Amino acid sequence: MQMPEMPQPTFYIFKCEQSSPPGMPKPSCVSEQTRDLFNHMAQSLMQKGIMGPVQPIRTSCMGRCQMGPVMMMEPGHHMYVHLTKEKIDRIIDEHMIGGNPVDEYLIPEQFWGEAQDISK
Ligand code: FES
């Protein structure tokens, strides 16, 4: 059977969907106030006709819980932090469609920086 051609996505969006159990002191990306961010993003991508070229993926903890809700865009290793619906909409318009990262929503350099070289 011949498979239809399928181009690779333009972006993968890894959205942390981890929520801490009740009573856990550590913050997490999903709470009562932030639980619908993933669905909001998915609906916005569909409305703008870019679901497919943009692939949102639910992940567990990415180790930046203090700055949650977070999501990472690939390619580019862009980590967005303290997300809200309004920030997600702007990231879709300016970064995913416009091609320009929204610098003010990116994780501060001291919490990200260059990836470690583990090839030695
Ligand atoms: S819970 Fe989202 S980064 Fe840790």
Ligand 1 within 6 A of CB of 68: yes
Fold of 11-19+27-107: Glutaredoxin (3.40.30)
- Reading the chain (120 residues) residue by residue, the pLDDT tens digits are 888 898 899 999 999 999 988 788 888 999 988 999 999 999 999 999 999 999 999 999 999 999 999 999 999 999 999 999 999 999 999 999 999 999 999 999 999 988 889 998
Residue minimizing CA distance to atom 1 of ligand 1:
28
Ligand 1 within 6 A of CB of 56: no
Can you tell me the distance from the alpha carbon of 10 to that of 8, in angstroms, rounded to the nearest whole number? 7
* Whole-number pLDDT of residue 80: 98
Task: State the maximum Cα–Cα separation within the chain, in Å, rounded to a whole number.
Answer: 53
Provide the whole-model pTM.
Answer: 0.92
Question: 17 has which bridge partners?
Answer: none
Can you tell me the distance from the alpha carbon of 4 to that of 108, in angstroms, rounded to the nearest whole number? 42
What is the domain partition of the chain in residue ranges? Answer: 11-19+27-107
Concatenating the DSSP letter of every residue in 34-73 gives: TTTHHHHHHHHHHHTT-BTTEEEEEE---S-GGG-S-EEE
Can you tell me the distance from the alpha carbon of 38 to that of 56, in angstroms, rounded to the nearest whole number? 8
Ligand 1 within 6 A of CB of 62: yes
